[in-house]
Structure 1
Amino acid sequence: MFDTRTADTSLSMTHYIDICKAVKPAVSPDGELLVYLSDESGTAQVWTRSLAGGKPRQLTNLPEPVGNLAFNPKNRDLLITTDWGGDERHQLWLIENAEGEPRLLTTDTTVVHAWGCWSPDGTQIAYGANYRDRSHMDIHVMTVATGETKCVYEGIGWRSPAAFAPDGKSLLVNDCQRAMTDQDLCRLDLETDAYENILPHEGRARYQGPKFFKDGSGILLIADQEREYLSVMVKPHDAASLTELAAFEGQDVEALAISPHQNRIALVLNRQGWNDLLLIGRDGVVLKQLEMPVVGVVASIAWTPDGMSLIMPVEGAATSGDIWRCDVESGVFTRLTDAPKAKVKLPAFLEPTVTSVASFDSLDVPYFVYKPERAPGRDGYPVMIIVHGGPEAQWKPDFRADIQYMLARGIMVIAPNIRGSTGYGRDYQHLDDRELRMDSVADLKAVRMAVAARSDVDESRIGVFGRSYGGFMVLSAMTEYPDLWKLGVEYYGIANFLTLLQTTGPWRKELRAIEYGDAETMRDDLERFSPINRIGNIAAPLMIAHGLEDPRVTPCESEMVYSCLRGLGKPIEYLRVPHEGHGFARIENRRRVFGALARFIDENL
């Protein structure tokens, strides 16, 4: 048997967790200054450097991590956001001229301030906030110089401002009162207060990144209205319908950016989780594909003000994240940041491959395979299956320090995109909705059985790991199929859908009920889906960890699991993590949580 405890005792999970990344770049309107977020100091803070070169410097040193950042379109004033301990009740700050101390623009720490956009003249900002009712997000506009704020629209459910019109007299609003996957794109007239759905439609639709053309001819956006995949669309000024500009068979368009001269559009495409970069013309014709410097993923894309380059964060399964610049004429990429890497020499990082398995109903379920470089032991590799959260999300080959640690320890890692995942079309995404919830758990079993049948795998040593909704999948897998697992690890997972819908942040309740089911009309189904009601079935050791300020999946979910399993005398470990939310934002907490994961794997897998 291959023993992970003796695989390489010189390796420490901390060596991997301490690897930093640079994300969320923004360029000042004069094209001279780059800002971005880096966790080099232990939490995500704003860093800056000249776009032409030079040494980076840390701009903020706030007690809380920075979430978003956006330059004023007319100067170097920088808008940033923070919350408190991961509670997602974000506050808005201003750093004047990207220098000096941040100044708070909002002060009510009980309110969610959801960042929206700057006005074209740089005098105002628009954002969503739930001052009036914690369950509903209204639209607010603030005059930044004076702090004067006006609620410009009140409504039911969730909505957020997306873009001002070029004349600053109206706002595009992404209205999600039915579901995040069933949106309306609305126009709010700031002079008359008229609120109009500018794209009436039947069925579900998503609208992403809408932007007005400068010439007033219409709106450029990503949408899947009346189609299977997200595509580049145009809403003409004088029409209440969409015109297709560019679509790609079997692929979502995930991000776009139109050049300052409005003649070229950069696109990020999703190819089975990996990203490709394209340039298209205003007519939708593909001009060129840009070869990425790293095989991996791009979270956002933006043009430099001169229209000559693109700025983007790039990372891959074997490459931690940095900010890159691409000269669009030559296609040459230049790395602009050098986020700190490992302090000691580590084994080479490895890339995954992708394959699939037919599930119980013949549905093809894709999954990534991360195979250790070393040969397996006599009985084969031990395996950790990692299930992504969401559920409306997708496993992507981005950099995961914990996975590279496992590979170095001789553990194969499997990462499925079970039904309900995004990236494979609208129909696939909704195959786990409401009454169909447990079909996705059956997918996980199918993946597990396919992996166990491999000649290089020890089928008696397969564990399962997930966070958030992935934590629900761990608990469900271990209660539905208890004999299949050597161990389980779940971070901030759902144990009981009824308590989740009662305790999640009030601004999230209706949106979650649409995905999981209404507590009044589907109570029996929700009880059947909830693994807490079968928790005694768990046979393998389980480790759980939870941030105590989590507003999405509150700690009561983990407390239930821990108290039940402890009372039943089952092997259970529980890490309560103070001052963290739905994730672990501080390096000292990541070291603690993932260090415990490494020890738990060594002892049980």
Structure 2
Amino acid sequence: MKLDYILFYVLFFTITLYSQEANIISKGIADSIYNIEYPKINTYRSKINFPPFIGWNQNGKKMLFNGGKVIYSMKKYNSEIKEYKEFDNNLSSYLSPNHNYFLYQEDENGNEDYQLFLYDITTNKGKVLSEEGDKSYDSFWSPDSQRFIFKSNKRNPAEVDLYVRGVSDSHDEQLLFSNISDDGQVYDWSLEKNTILAVKVISENNKFLYSINDQSGEIEQINPNKNNIAYSDAKFIPNQNACLIISDEFSEFLQLQLYDLSSKKFKVITSNIPWDIEALTIDKNGKKAAFSINKNGLSQLYILDLKTLKYSKVNDSPEGIIRNLIINSKGTEVGFNLYASTFYRKVFGYNIKINKLNQYTRKGKLLIDTLIFAKAESFTYKSIDPDNKIEYNIPAFIYRPNIESPSPVFIDIHGGPEYQIKASFNSFYQYLVNELGITVILPNIRGSNGYGKSYMKLDDGINRENAIEDVGALLDWIKKQPDLDADRVAIYGESYGGYVTLASLAKYSKRIKCGIDVVGISNWITYLKSTRDYRRDLRRVEFGDERNNNTSVFLKEISPINNVDKIDSPLLIFQGLNDPRVNYKESEQVYKALNSLGKEVWYVLAKDEGHGFKKNSNYLLQRNLTISFLKKHLIY
């Protein structure tokens, strides 16, 4: 018995050690800490997790849901959920309009060099469409499901192009648009007009909208303009020579506009809504449309009559974040997924005819969470620009624990920087709040989107430090709150958020107890030189061109690697070896610099990951080590 135990222990230790050496390199972490697990966090998963809504069947009478290797359907909001189609491969988001095919993409260990595949649901067979090593991705189907468009950098590694090809003929592939940009995308495709609407991204504030003839390949820019314009969507209106466009041309915010394709004139529809239009869907008859707005990180639903261009708000829409907004073909019902801070996902359908919102359930039985989750509350805090003395209201969300004593604080900085963190469900936040008594704060610092184009530009180029000032202002706000412990603050950030984390630790090291940097930027010069070729120009517009001498001096000055001696707080770093966005050496050089100075730094490098830990075993390791790190340095 004792020998069996010893053999088991040796075998277990050998397997564990080999597994670590196979894909994980860790430095500065004691074995006793590395192997700690926190299984109780699994109890903080929301059970309100209805299968995601993905569209409608052909006649628009049934909702369809992604069940992995099954597509489910429901005829009514309280009916039984039934199998619609079953297959052997997990369904992707690129399902063809006739529901006979779907496209999917796979990379190797997070390198984002996606290989494109076509899966035939009718035969349960898949085939490879692109060469290994070519980055082929982001597909868009033609309405008749016979052709599709995809992006690829196979012509030139430094540029991303649009290609079109047929389903049946593997050689029917044509270059459609050269250098559409990595963030460029197709918005719509009309067979009636033989026209594709697509956008090329110069920066988040400057995008070019094009119409492309799918027969001749002729390209025409829509609304050429000397001013920077941001577009977020454009869709043809069936049976009209017009389209709906979402842009910020006439406002601080993204507005819904009617664009006449003949006269080439715009008419603003939502001039009275001072928030971004975030989603748009139009029925096949061109009679009704639905759109949602992003009001301070929460969605509101509207219905639009395309004849009168009058819209009405759906007043009983529940609080949350709307995604996958899709109207049925007849324009009688619009479906969507709803996400919120206190549950994962609900599915709703709004009956336009009778003005009724229904939650989809299994025979009327609601999914219920046994735990009471902390709700994210919105608030703002003041941040003053040190140069012009202008005061800004910085929007944020806060999750508070139910405890009496002042709680430690966990600040999560989003990436981007042109991104907005919203109050969606997060089991890790819920664990921190409910099990460790930590308050979680999610600030949308200057440079975030969702609050107007001027706000998004406030951190561009030489204004980069404005974002760091906002972290300092948040620390000031925390100090004034009686229920928060300003002496126990941790900061966390991924990608650009990792840069903000490192820069904040250097600037406010005595006010921040510890930091966690995930795939963060540490040196702007080496980052811009090493990020993949097809991303570099877009990043230079946002962060500055390191080839310019004055810009280079500034970027060196604000790079955390050049201020690493000011970081006194313990740091935990996570990095993927194959990261095409932020090269792994950005993290490596921070670890080496801090370690050489005798500072406490934990470092985890995953050989089988890229820009973040996506594989479940690696994600669990990241989660467990983060909790152990916080327990040691924040809870104690």
Q: Same fold (TM over 0.5)?
A: yes
**1:163 aligned residue:** 188
Counterpart Cα distance in 2 of 1:337 and 1:241: 47
Query: Is the alpha carbon distance of 1:168 and 1:123 closer, same or farther for their aligned partners in structure 2, counting shifts above 3 Å?
Result: farther
Query: Is the alpha carbon distance of 1:76 and 1:192 closer, same or farther for their aligned partners in structure 2, counting shifts above 3 Å?
Result: closer
Instruction: Show the 5 A alignment for 1:310-389.
Output: 310-328=334-352, 329-335=354-360, 346-360=371-385, 361=389, 362-375=391-404, 377=405, 380-389=406-415
**Bigger mean CA offset, 256-265 vs 595-604:** 256-265
Shift of 1:135: 1.4
Q: 1:563 aligns with which of 582, 592, 600?
A: 592
Q: Is the 8 A contact 1:78 1:96 kept in 2?
A: yes
Query: Is the alpha carbon distance of 1:317 and 1:475 closer, same or farther for their aligned partners in structure 2, counting shifts above 3 Å?
Result: same
Counterpart Cα distance in 2 of 1:48 and 1:586: 24
Counterpart Cα distance in 2 of 1:343 and 1:189: 50
Q: Is the 8 A contact 1:13 1:595 kept in 2?
A: no
Shift of 1:344: 10
**2:20 aligned residue:** none
Equivalent position SS for 2:94: strand
Query: Is the alpha carbon distance of 1:464 and 1:21 closer, same or farther for their aligned partners in structure 2, counting shifts above 3 Å?
Result: farther
- The question of 1:423 aligning with 2:450 is answered yes
**1:110 aligned residue:** 133
Counterpart Cα distance in 1 of 2:188 and 2:581: 27
Counterpart Cα distance in 1 of 2:463 and 2:606: 33
Counterpart Cα distance in 1 of 2:525 and 2:317: 45
Q: 1:509 aligns with which of 531, 536, 541?
A: 536
Counterpart Cα distance in 2 of 1:291 and 1:324: 12
How far does the alpha carbon of each residue in 1:579-602 deviate from its partner, in whole angstroms, 9 at most, with x for none? 322233333222211111111111
Query: Is the alpha carbon distance of 1:358 and 1:56 closer, same or farther for their aligned partners in structure 2, counting shifts above 3 Å?
Result: farther
Determine what percentage of the aligned residue pairs are the same residue.
Answer: 25
Q: Please tell me the residue identity of whatever aligns with 1:256.
A: L
**1:532 aligned residue:** 561
- The question of 1:296 aligning with 2:320 is answered yes
**1:195 aligned residue:** 219
How far does the alpha carbon of each residue in 1:503-533 deviate from its partner, in whole angstroms, 9 at most, with x for none? 2122111000100000101211111121111
Query: Is the alpha carbon distance of 1:213 and 1:16 closer, same or farther for their aligned partners in structure 2, counting shifts above 3 Å?
Result: same
Query: Is the alpha carbon distance of 1:576 and 1:10 closer, same or farther for their aligned partners in structure 2, counting shifts above 3 Å?
Result: closer
Equivalent position SS for 1:363: strand
Q: Please tell me the residue identity of whatever aligns with 2:41.
A: M
**Bigger mean CA offset, 243-252 vs 158-167:** 158-167
Counterpart Cα distance in 2 of 1:311 and 1:105: 33
Q: Is the 8 A contact 1:22 1:313 kept in 2?
A: no
Q: 1:278 aligns with which of 302, 308, 311?
A: 302
- The question of 1:547 aligning with 2:576 is answered yes
**2:15 aligned residue:** none
Q: Is the 8 A contact 1:70 1:79 kept in 2?
A: yes
**1:5 aligned residue:** none
How far does the alpha carbon of each residue in 1:552-585 deviate from its partner, in whole angstroms, 9 at most, with x for none? 1121211111111112111111122243222333
Q: 2:419 aligns with which of 390, 393, 402?
A: 393
Counterpart Cα distance in 2 of 1:540 and 1:219: 54
Query: Is the alpha carbon distance of 1:92 and 1:310 closer, same or farther for their aligned partners in structure 2, counting shifts above 3 Å?
Result: farther
Shift of 1:263: 1.8
How far does the alpha carbon of each residue in 1:481-503 deviate from its partner, in whole angstroms, 9 at most, with x for none? 21110110121111111111122
- The question of 1:436 aligning with 2:463 is answered yes
Q: Is the 8 A contact 1:466 1:489 kept in 2?
A: yes
- The question of 1:135 aligning with 2:163 is answered no
Q: Please tell me the residue identity of whatever aligns with 2:568.
A: A
Shift of 1:22: 5.0
**Bigger mean CA offset, 112-121 vs 537-546:** 112-121
Equivalent position SS for 1:93: strand
Q: Is the 8 A contact 1:260 1:303 kept in 2?
A: no
Shift of 1:315: 0.9
How far does the alpha carbon of each residue in 1:409-438 deviate from its partner, in whole angstroms, 9 at most, with x for none? 211111111110111101000000001001
Q: Is the 8 A contact 1:15 1:342 kept in 2?
A: no
**2:275 aligned residue:** 251
Counterpart Cα distance in 2 of 1:425 and 1:344: 36
Q: 2:519 aligns with which of 470, 492, 497?
A: 492
Q: Is the 8 A contact 1:137 1:155 kept in 2?
A: yes
**1:3 aligned residue:** none
Query: Is the alpha carbon distance of 1:596 and 1:33 closer, same or farther for their aligned partners in structure 2, counting shifts above 3 Å?
Result: farther
Counterpart Cα distance in 1 of 2:473 and 2:231: 34
Counterpart Cα distance in 2 of 1:410 and 1:102: 50
Q: Is the 8 A contact 1:27 1:71 kept in 2?
A: no
- The question of 1:238 aligning with 2:262 is answered yes
- The question of 1:214 aligning with 2:238 is answered yes
Instruction: Show the 5 A alignment for 1:583-598.
Output: 583-598=612-627
Query: Which stretches in structure 2 are left out of the alignment for 5+ residues?
Result: 1-36
Counterpart Cα distance in 2 of 1:308 and 1:383: 47
Q: Please tell me the residue identity of whatever aligns with 2:194.
A: K
Q: TM-score, normalised by structure 1?
A: 0.89
Counterpart Cα distance in 2 of 1:232 and 1:570: 52
**2:40 aligned residue:** 12
**2:5 aligned residue:** none
Equivalent position SS for 1:246: coil
Instruction: Show the 5 A alignment for 1:19-58.
Output: 23=52, 25-31=54-60, 45=68, 47-52=70-75, 53-54=80-81
Counterpart Cα distance in 1 of 2:54 and 2:616: 21
**1:458 aligned residue:** 485
Q: Is the 8 A contact 1:14 1:595 kept in 2?
A: no
Bigger radius of gyration, 1 or 2?
2
Query: Is the alpha carbon distance of 1:561 and 1:22 closer, same or farther for their aligned partners in structure 2, counting shifts above 3 Å?
Result: farther
Query: Is the alpha carbon distance of 1:11 and 1:407 closer, same or farther for their aligned partners in structure 2, counting shifts above 3 Å?
Result: farther
Counterpart Cα distance in 2 of 1:47 and 1:542: 44
Shift of 1:209: 2.4
**2:291 aligned residue:** 267
Counterpart Cα distance in 2 of 1:132 and 1:525: 35
Counterpart Cα distance in 1 of 2:162 and 2:483: 56
Q: Is the 8 A contact 1:290 1:331 kept in 2?
A: no
**Bigger mean CA offset, 559-568 vs 85-94:** 85-94
Counterpart Cα distance in 1 of 2:235 and 2:399: 39
Equivalent position SS for 1:85: coil
Q: TM-score, normalised by structure 2?
A: 0.85
Equivalent position SS for 2:403: coil
Q: Is the 8 A contact 2:72 2:85 kept in 1?
A: no
Equivalent position SS for 2:175: strand
Q: Is the 8 A contact 2:490 2:515 kept in 1?
A: yes
Q: Is the 8 A contact 1:114 1:160 kept in 2?
A: no
Query: Is the alpha carbon distance of 1:322 and 1:589 closer, same or farther for their aligned partners in structure 2, counting shifts above 3 Å?
Result: farther
Q: Please tell me the residue identity of whatever aligns with 1:51.
A: M
Q: Is the 8 A contact 1:32 1:50 kept in 2?
A: no
Query: Is the alpha carbon distance of 1:372 and 1:363 closer, same or farther for their aligned partners in structure 2, counting shifts above 3 Å?
Result: same
**1:603 aligned residue:** 632
Q: Is the 8 A contact 1:14 1:591 kept in 2?
A: no
Counterpart Cα distance in 1 of 2:593 and 2:194: 57
Counterpart Cα distance in 2 of 1:15 and 1:554: 35
Query: Is the alpha carbon distance of 1:61 and 1:505 closer, same or farther for their aligned partners in structure 2, counting shifts above 3 Å?
Result: farther
Equivalent position SS for 1:535: helix
Shift of 1:61: 6.8
**Bigger mean CA offset, 87-96 vs 214-223:** 87-96
Q: Is the 8 A contact 1:246 1:284 kept in 2?
A: no
Counterpart Cα distance in 2 of 1:410 and 1:490: 22
Equivalent position SS for 1:183: strand
Q: Is the 8 A contact 1:17 1:591 kept in 2?
A: no
**1:126 aligned residue:** 149
Counterpart Cα distance in 2 of 1:319 and 1:337: 17
The CA RMSD over aligned residues, in Å, is: 2.8
